[in-house]
Structures are given as C-alpha cells and as structure tokens.
Amino acid sequence: MLDPLLDKVRIVLVNTTHPGNIGATARAMKTMGLTRLHLVSPQGFPSAEATARAAGADDILARAIVCDDLDEALTGARLILGTSARARSISWPELDPRQAVAEAATTAGDVAILFGRERYGLTNKELQRCHYLVNIPSNPEFHSLNIASAVQVLAYEMRMSRPAAGETEKPREDLLASAEDMESFYEHLEDTLFQTGFLKTGQPRVTMMKRLRRLFNRAKPDTTEINILRGILSTIQKPKNRG
Amino acid sequence: MLDPLLDKVRIVLVNTTHPGNIGATARAMKTMGLTRLHLVSPQGFPSAEATARAAGADDILARAIVCDDLDEALTGARLILGTSARARSISWPELDPRQAVAEAATTAGDVAILFGRERYGLTNKELQRCHYLVNIPSNPEFHSLNIASAVQVLAYEMRMSRPAAGETEKPREDLLASAEDMESFYEHLEDTLFQTGFLKTGQPRVTMMKRLRRLFNRAKPDTTEINILRGILSTIQKPKNRG
C-alpha cells in the first residue's frame, strides 16, 4: 500500500492502561488502512487480551514501537495533533476531526496523533507539544469516548478524505429508462388503471396520474425495470391464469 | 435533549453474539447523544460484561428494547438503513456514512440503522428491508470493523451534521410509509402478481420480488402513496368495471 496520507500518520497512545484498548486500536487502524502504532509506556503490553481484541490486526501490534517517553514517540514527526475533550484549562488552537485530517493531508512530512490515558487524557505539558488539539464533538453530558473509538473516528476521517472515498456511491450499471420509455409507461399505466376501474374520467384522474408520476420518477427506473413494469401491466390487461 | 436528528434514530443490533459489543455500542451512542437502542434476539443480555463496557452508559442499556424479530424492531420506522461490508452479492443502493446521515436528516419520521452479526453481518433478506445499504469505507484487505466501532462512526457523523441539520434541506412533509406498511404492500403485490399470472411459483418469483422491492424502496413511498398503490392492487384483484 502506498498512500500519501495514511502512510505518514502515526498513532501515539500515551500510557494506556487497558491492553484491550491497544488491541482495539490496532483493529481500528487496520480497518482504515493505518499501520504505524507508537506506544508510550503502555501497561501490560504485549498481552493476550490486546491480541484478542486486535481480531486479526496483530501485524499492527507486532510492528508497534514501544517508547519510554513522548520525545521518543515523536521523533521525526512534523505535525503533532493531540486529541482532547473540550473545555480544557489550556487554551490552544482546536480543530474538529475533519479539519485535523485536512491539515494532516496538506502538511509535508510525518504526522503524529496523540491519544491520552483512559482516565484523564493528555497532560497540559503533553498538549503543549501539539500544533493543534483535536476535539471530537460529543454529548456535553457524556463525553467519555473510548480510546479505540476515538482512533476509529480519526482513522475513518482519513479514509473518507482519500480521493477513492468519493467513489463509494457506485454509479448504477443500467441506463435509466429514456424519456420516451417513461411516457409510454405512464400511458400504459393510465390505460390499465382505467380498464380495471381504478381510474374514472375527469379531474381526479389527472391528479392521480400526477401523483403516480411523482412516485415513479422518484424511483428513477432503469430500462429493465420499466420493461418489468410494462410486463406487469400487460398481464393485468390480459390475465391468462386468473383463478 | 431535544434534537431533530438524534432523537428520531434508533440503532438496531441484530443477533449480537458478544455482550461486550452491546455495552460498547451503548457507550458509543451516548457519547454522541443517541439514546434509542433495539436488540433483536441478542445473546447473553443483560450481562455484567455489557454493563462494564458501557462505562457509564448503562441508562441506554436499561432502556434498550429487546425484540424477538426484525419486524418488531422496525415497527414505526420510516427510513431503514443497513450497514454492510462492500462487495455483497446483493446489488442495492449504497451510501457512505456521510450521505446516509444526510438522508436521515432530511427524512421525516423515525430512522432505523441496522447492524448485523459479528461473523457475517446482515442476511440478504434483512438487507432487502433497507432503503439503502451504508458502506463504511475501509481497507479492502481488512474490513473487519467492530460493531460498536461501526456504530461510533455513524453516530459521529450524526453529531457532526447537527449544526446544519434542519436549516438547509427541508424534510419531505409526508411521512414515509412505515416498515410494516411496506411489508404489507409487498405481500399484497406478490399475491396480486401471482393471481394475474405474472408470477409463477419458484425461484424466478423470488428474484422478481427482490427487483420490485429494490425499485419501490428507491422511490421511498409515503403513507398516502402506499395507500394509492394498495388501492390499485385491490382493484386489480377485484375489477368492478372491467370493459
């Protein structure tokens, strides 16, 4: 994999207490294509629990770099981002995850994103190493986001920011029915509904056909679908096996 | 809390195997301000593990609605979204999480987002209940996203969409037909098409009904429109003025 953004980002977990969170972080990273994990003085790593929660992302764990202090984990990093709950005593430039990823994408060189301790996050001293704080918007009454979930959100934004992400909405393979096919269908529909007695002559008929046009236009049927619908109408007009 | 988007969304977990994932889902929801959790035949719930992983979001667990089947969980839902890994055999309209949240924000009435089993997600039959599949972009070589992480990503997008929600795009005024009304319509449609001889028994019937579901789900009919369509079906079944 060669990706200009994903390859230059390292995730730095500072003093993580629960090995399960390290494993879940590795999994969150790998699902989005991130590979570089730095662990500053983690508790209980490596561990079976981390491997279990990694659920197949154990290659990320195996390549994780365990560091004694933050300096070591930040070696070579250019842009440093620190995740933080809002309303810190420290006043520091703040970005939301989408802005942070845009900043990372337009910065040359390595990017480090810091995630703090389960209980109290990053210290003010650690936050002051950062160019920006990253604030994940959350419920003001409950902003206790799990660390691996915070990594997931940032990693997801990185994945979304890639050019390929815009291609998730696959264009429909079949051509939409042509304007004239749609008109023929509506004529056929109106004839059939008149024949069955659903439509009578007069104004309600016009209003009803307008409603049905709105409904079927919204569905944007393709050529095959219009053929199916017309097949149905033909069978209604001349039922062969009516019971 | 009164929020036009967050309040109308229910998270539906289908046949979740690990109670820890249910707890982590509750936490992911609460951090972003979501409150409504429906559980379809969960394994081992309630449980101490779910409560531990909820980490303070146990009010969400306490209010979770445990359902016997998907129909029950979807009662009253208008827009139905199903999360899915890419490259399904089923071809169905797909949105990325951001597009899905935009769709939810501009739809009147309740929204259900479905998350499938840990091992194999949602079945094709379950996916066919959905208006859209939601595909979270991921590493093609490792797209095994944890369920609670998937919930986190969707919930995060909802939180991110809030300031603009309700201001820019006006929701459609009419309520979409409810999940149960849609099912009744499809049953009525299938009966009618069988009666007219358009459908015969066997596999083609299943395939054809799938195609028709895709077409009508795409149109997202409202309550009035479904009543019109059912009126048409009734007239076809018992034509009064057949010429």
Q: What is the CATH number of the domain that holds A125?
A: 3.40.1280.10
Structural domain includes residue B229: yes
Distance from CA of A71 to the nearest CA of B (A): 30
Q: Considering only residues A108 and B38, tell me which one the structure prediction assigns the higher pLDDT.
A: B38
Q: Which residues of chain B make contact with A197, given a CB cutoff of 8 A?
A: 235, 239-242
Q: Are residues A185 and A156 part of one domain?
A: no
Minimum-distance CB partner of B31 among A139, A168, A196: A139
| Mutation target among A236, A237, A240 for the B interface, most CBs of B within 10 A | A236
Q: Are residues B215 and B100 part of one domain?
A: no
Q: Are residues A38 and A151 part of one domain?
A: yes
Q: Are residues A28 and A132 part of one domain?
A: yes
User: Among residues 104-133 of chain B, which lie with CB inside 8 Å of chain A?
Assistant: none
* Residue A9, number of CB atoms within 10 A of its CB: 25
**Which of B100, B130, B161 is where one domain is finished?**
B161
Tokens standing for A144?
Answer: 């206790």
- Establish if A233 touches chain B: CB-CB under 8 angstroms: no
Structural domain includes residue B32: yes
User: Among residues 194-213 of chain B, which lie with CB inside 8 Å of chain A?
Assistant: 195-198, 208, 211-212
Predicted confidence (pLDDT) per residue in B104-155, tens digit:
999 888 999 999 999 989 998 999 889 999 999 999 999 889 999 999 999 9
Structural domain includes residue A154: yes
How distant is the alpha carbon of residue B92 from its chain centre?
Answer: 13
Q: Which residues of chain A make contact with B31, given a CB cutoff of 8 A?
A: 138-139, 142-145, 149
Domains of chain A: total: 2
Q: Which residues of chain A make contact with B211, given a CB cutoff of 8 A?
A: 225, 228
Q: What is the ipTM of this complex?
A: 0.81
Predicted confidence (pLDDT) per residue in A48-78, tens digit:
999 999 999 999 999 999 999 999 999 988 8
3-state secondary structure of A158: helix
Structural domain includes residue B71: yes
Q: Which residues of chain A make contact with B236, given a CB cutoff of 8 A?
A: 196, 198, 236
- The residue range of the domain holding A90 is 6-167
Residues B63, A217: Cα–Cα separation, whole Å: 41
**Which of B101, B129, B161 is where one domain is finished?**
B161
Residue pair A187/B183 in contact by the 8 Å Cβ criterion: no
Q: Are residues B206 and B95 part of one domain?
A: no
Q: Are residues B130 and B40 part of one domain?
A: yes
Residue pair A60/A10 in contact by the 8 Å Cβ criterion: no
- Establish if A31 touches chain B: CB-CB under 8 angstroms: yes
Q: Are residues B86 and B13 part of one domain?
A: yes
CATH code, domain carrying A223: 1.10.8.590
Structural domain includes residue A243: no
Q: What is the DSSP string of A26-38?
A: HHHHHHHT--EEE
The pLDDT-based confidence of B171 (bands split at 50, 70, 90) is low
Distance from CA of A231 to the nearest CA of B (A): 8
Which residues, listed in sequence order, are joined to residue A66 by a DSSP beta bridge?
A39
- Establish if B156 touches chain A: CB-CB under 8 angstroms: yes
**Which of B161, B189, B213 is where one domain is finished?**
B161
Q: Are residues A161 and A93 part of one domain?
A: yes
- A32–B144 C-beta distance less than 8 A: no
Q: Are residues B115 and B228 part of one domain?
A: no
Global confidence as pTM: 0.82
Q: Are residues B22 and B122 part of one domain?
A: yes
Structural domain includes residue A1: no
Q: What is the pLDDT of residue B167?
A: 41
Structural domain includes residue A90: yes
Q: Are residues A66 and A149 part of one domain?
A: yes
Q: What is the pLDDT of residue A167?
A: 43
Q: What is the pLDDT of residue A143?
A: 86
Distance from CA of B34 to the nearest CA of A (A): 9
Q: Are residues B97 and B209 part of one domain?
A: no
Residue pair B105/B139 in contact by the 8 Å Cβ criterion: no
Residues B108, B128: Cα–Cα separation, whole Å: 21
Predicted confidence (pLDDT) per residue in A200-238, tens digit:
888 788 889 888 988 998 888 888 999 999 999 999 998
Residue of A nearest to B24 (CA): A146
- A197–B240 C-beta distance less than 8 A: yes
Please determine, for residue B168, whether its predicted confidence score (pLDDT) is greater than 60.
no
Structural domain includes residue B168: no
- A149–B148 C-beta distance less than 8 A: yes
